[in-house]
Structure 1
Amino acid sequence: MKVVFVRRVLVLMLLTGLMAQSAASQIIDSTAKVPRAPLVIGAYAQGSIIMAHTYAIKHLVASHPTGFEINIQRQTTGADPWHEWYKYPKVGLALTYYDFHNPILGYVFAASPYISKTFSRGPKHDFSFRLGAGLAYLTNPYNQETNHKNTIASSALNATLQMRFEYDYALTPHLGLLAGIGLNHYSNGATTKPNFGVNLPSLVLGLNYHEQRPAPTYHNPAPLPDDIGRTFFNVSTSLGFKQRTEGDKQKYLVNSVTLAVGRRMNRKSNLLLGVEGFNDRSLKATLEDTTRAGGKQPDVKKAGVFVGHELLFGRLAFDSHLGFYVYAPYKSSTAYYERLGLKYHFTNLLFGAIDLKIHRGAADVIEFKVGAKL
């Protein structure tokens, strides 16, 4: 699974939080001059092909999946300062159905919160980029006895990513014609195997109903965050589970501890530098299978250093890390790793995160993290 496609995960926590945060902001600021966030309701048809991104799924690319989507979204209007910082994006929820037209693959039902960033907006048009992630249910997952040809996903429950360029043109004051081109991706992040995932480049055509167009906006005169230029410390721990092979059904615990120092650079960004330790118990099981009885086994624990960036949306952040192992006696992977994730600050002290750890574009484990900002 290539890194360009695995960002899908984890945006789920960010986008769900974005919608809740936006809705809460509208209530909190209702006594000010903040206009109510108008609704946009859409219904779209989708036509796709299956991308043969690896040889292991080439036998599945003959069909042309088709789908249908309904969604509801709100145009942010300025209730929170970050609305204006990001030029008033839209946040929404999409419900998608796909028919693979292949009995091996079956059907997909997905729910995806998303955010849509506008590049160009006028009285009669809106050109934007949409990024969403959520959960998908695949009706025909891999089964060693009954469906061994489905190598894209071995579990019914999967993560999904949507990336899409959209152009909405006003046919009437309330009705818009939408055309788009994008990508839908489904996989389980290597929680179970096989997990090659499926990538569906898609053409989209549909209609939007706009409650109010153009949407009103409010200039939020909030001062700059007072922690710009300040240094902080993060301490956190995580756990996740992974499967070694299709033949080994056991889920092995993977956990880590992280210490990082960070600095808020501006309204939108934090920079981080950290150290961390990992304990992947699936590596121990692999060693026990491959080492001769009585033979000495290397330590499977690893330690790394990383640099990172956090893109901030109020209490929410999209984080990306690049790390290098400085202690790894058992050479089970590349010398470097990447991490993509989402963090939410429940308080000024406590945060939670969902991260995807990656080795050279392939998912290693999904990490569920809790920590404190000091």
Structure 2
Amino acid sequence: MPLAFRHLVVWLLLWPGWCGLAQAQAPRAAEPLVVGLYAQGGFIIAHSPRVKHLVTAHPTGLELNLQRQLTGTQPWHAWYRYPKVGAALVYYNYHNPQMGRSYAGTVYLSKTMWRTQRQELSLRMGTGIGYFPQAFDRETNHKNLFVSSRLNATLQARADYDVALTPKLGLLVGVALNHYSNGATAKPNLGVNIPTLVLGLNYHQQRQFTPLPADPAHEPTDLGRHFLNVSTSVGFKQRNESDRRRYWVNSVTVAGGRRLNRKSNLLVGLEGFYDRSLLAEQRDTARNTDNLPDVKKAGVLVGHELLLGRLAFGTHLGFYFYNPYKSNNFYYERLSLKYHVSTRLFGALDLKVHRGAADVIEWRVGVRL
């Protein structure tokens, strides 16, 4: 996965989280809706010599989205200056017989950076699921090294400028960076990176809104407190293009943390990994299968969590201190989206990365003590 997208992660649990966050305990205020229809055009980045033959045309697309303005029904709305949450349907035509078309459903968070009565500048980040009917196939589509599975994660970062044409109709101009990848669950997994220009119209149910007053009683009660997270994860991956089998990957993590402020947790922890694809790799490369090094690994991690109600977006950096089989670098990174089902129980979707390349997508469950 390219470096520019490692900090978007895995926002794949975002929509369930927003639904939970929208269940307000405070009196509700009107949350105005915005409906948008946009045209997109861009180019594909040839980030590897292996994909230069696929970069022959400029992709074009359409996007239909629906977003709502948060108004303060949850305390974190005010802490982040009342962002918008939205969902979009995105279509691309790659004008290339090997790649064909793609269809995606995405969810996103849009944070307003500057606002006047008639204008608004926002930054948007989101994720979703993309579908490619013409994915890589060894017999029928062996040239499509970008996309090896029909289902892929899609990630997006975008800057939008909206200016009022009428009290309810706005012209939107944007610039975006889009990414499609399956996180190494199938290979080849080179991924598609598409910078695009966006032009379209927004219909605002209500351009100006009145936020609910902040309630000091809703300040976090755990500021400065310590906690302990114990979790385990499971994932699967494909070893290489010639081996079509899927191998299970497991991990166990124990991490201590501290709530620093309204928006942040700091984490330090230990974790262990068992990647069964490394056993197959050993059998293929070793001359003598006696006394092979252990493929299990252990590491120490430091991390940060950005808090949005029950959601936490995590970035972790880890270092292996037990790594007998040197299959990778001495360090790893992880992007995590965690959702607290209750005060104690949480689930997470993680992307583990080695030096900019996706290693495995991890499905995690854990408890907070």
Q: Are residues 1:334 and 2:332 paired?
A: no
SS state at 1:331 partner: coil
Letter in 2 for 1:191: T
Identity %: 59
Aligned-pair CA distance for 1:297? 0.5
Aligned-pair CA distance for 1:217? 1.1
SS state at 2:315 partner: strand
Looking at structure 1, the residues matched to 177 and 352 of structure 2 have their Cα atoms a distance apart, in angstroms, of 22
1:24 is aligned to: 23
Which of 70, 74, 99 is the equivalent residue of 1:76?
70
After TM superposition, the structure 1 = structure 2 runs for residues 231-246 of structure 1, keeping only pairs within 5 Å, are 231-246=226-241
TM-score scaled to structure 1, two decimals?
Answer: 0.96
Q: Are residues 1:262 and 2:257 paired?
A: yes
2:155 is aligned to: 161
The alignment covers a number of residue pairs equal to: 368
Q: Cα deviations across residues 49-77 of structure 1 (Å, max 9, x unaligned)?
A: 00111111111111100000000000000
Aligned-pair CA distance for 1:370? 0.3
1:116 is aligned to: 110
1:11 is aligned to: 11
SS state at 2:12 partner: helix
SS state at 2:142 partner: coil
Q: Are residues 1:203 and 2:202 paired?
A: no
Letter in 1 for 2:212: Y
Looking at structure 1, the residues matched to 23 and 121 of structure 2 have their Cα atoms a distance apart, in angstroms, of 27
Q: Are residues 1:2 and 2:2 paired?
A: yes
Looking at structure 2, the residues matched to 219 and 336 of structure 1 have their Cα atoms a distance apart, in angstroms, of 45
Looking at structure 1, the residues matched to 97 and 289 of structure 2 have their Cα atoms a distance apart, in angstroms, of 49
Looking at structure 1, the residues matched to 7 and 253 of structure 2 have their Cα atoms a distance apart, in angstroms, of 21
2:224 is aligned to: 229
2:355 is aligned to: 360
Q: For the Cα contact (< 8 Å) 2:17–2:339, is it kept in 1?
A: no
Q: Cα deviations across residues 96-126 of structure 1 (Å, max 9, x unaligned)?
A: 0000000100100000100001100111011
SS state at 2:281 partner: helix
Letter in 2 for 1:3: L
Which of 310, 313, 319 is the equivalent residue of 2:305?
310
Aligned-pair CA distance for 1:252? 0.2
Letter in 2 for 1:10: V
Q: Which has the larger displacement, 291-300 or 230-239?
A: 291-300
Q: For the Cα contact (< 8 Å) 2:128–2:155, is it kept in 1?
A: yes
Looking at structure 2, the residues matched to 273 and 165 of structure 1 have their Cα atoms a distance apart, in angstroms, of 33
Looking at structure 1, the residues matched to 20 and 74 of structure 2 have their Cα atoms a distance apart, in angstroms, of 9
RMSD of equivalent CA atoms: 1.1
Aligned-pair CA distance for 1:17? 3.2
SS state at 1:11 partner: coil
Aligned-pair CA distance for 1:145? 0.7
Letter in 1 for 2:49: Y
Letter in 2 for 1:329: P
SS state at 1:24 partner: coil
SS state at 2:87 partner: strand
Q: Are residues 1:345 and 2:340 paired?
A: yes
2:268 is aligned to: 273
After TM superposition, the structure 1 = structure 2 runs for residues 146-225 of structure 1, keeping only pairs within 5 Å, are 146-223=140-217, 224-225=219-220
Q: Cα deviations across residues 73-106 of structure 1 (Å, max 9, x unaligned)?
A: 0000000000000000000001000000001001
After TM superposition, the structure 1 = structure 2 runs for residues 82-101 of structure 1, keeping only pairs within 5 Å, are 82-101=76-95
Aligned-pair CA distance for 1:7? 4.3
Aligned-pair CA distance for 1:358? 0.2
Which sections of structure 2, spanning at least 5 residues, go unmatched? Answer: none
Looking at structure 2, the residues matched to 178 and 144 of structure 1 have their Cα atoms a distance apart, in angstroms, of 42
